[in-house]
Structure 1
């Protein structure tokens, strides 16, 4: 089973995969002078997926980085069941871990964040 697809294309299985769900509050959220919280939640359950691959080939690295380069893309991700969301990539890092005879091994990290 693929746990991660981007625009319908299966991505390599990550070595580390963490889904975080967050709430978004309005600008009116804050504390009063006496410390009471006034909260105006405008949206709940916004997904952020933290991903790490420790050993991708150069073509796999390119596939992951190219798939996450657009401003937005459709992500299928596993969180108890398959879900889909429009997302964008936060900072993406690719570190060359080894190179021999024109072949590279890459460690890649990124966050995918729901719109």
Structure 2
């Protein structure tokens, strides 16, 4: 959940060549400036963390993901995704080998 939106008035000097067309199309400059700041923050974060992200991606390509999601695990009927798989000590049953019960759950009798 986002924190409450506390706003502060800010004066920004902007090029008239940039501001004139924005006023002409009735562009609200506050959300446009906020979007620009968010974009700049995201790009800065990516640049600052580029080395760590690349190292992590190299590790995933080399060793596979630590705990593959269920949809990515191989099964005897074919692999749903072609992701690197870490070695597993034992084979897990695939979804094709699990047979649904013929009796609907709400009609089954449970021992008391």
TM-score, with structure 1 as normaliser: 0.18
TM-score, with structure 2 as normaliser: 0.18
More RCO (CA 8 Å, sep 6+)? 1
Structure number with the higher strand fraction is 1
Structure number with the higher helix fraction is 2
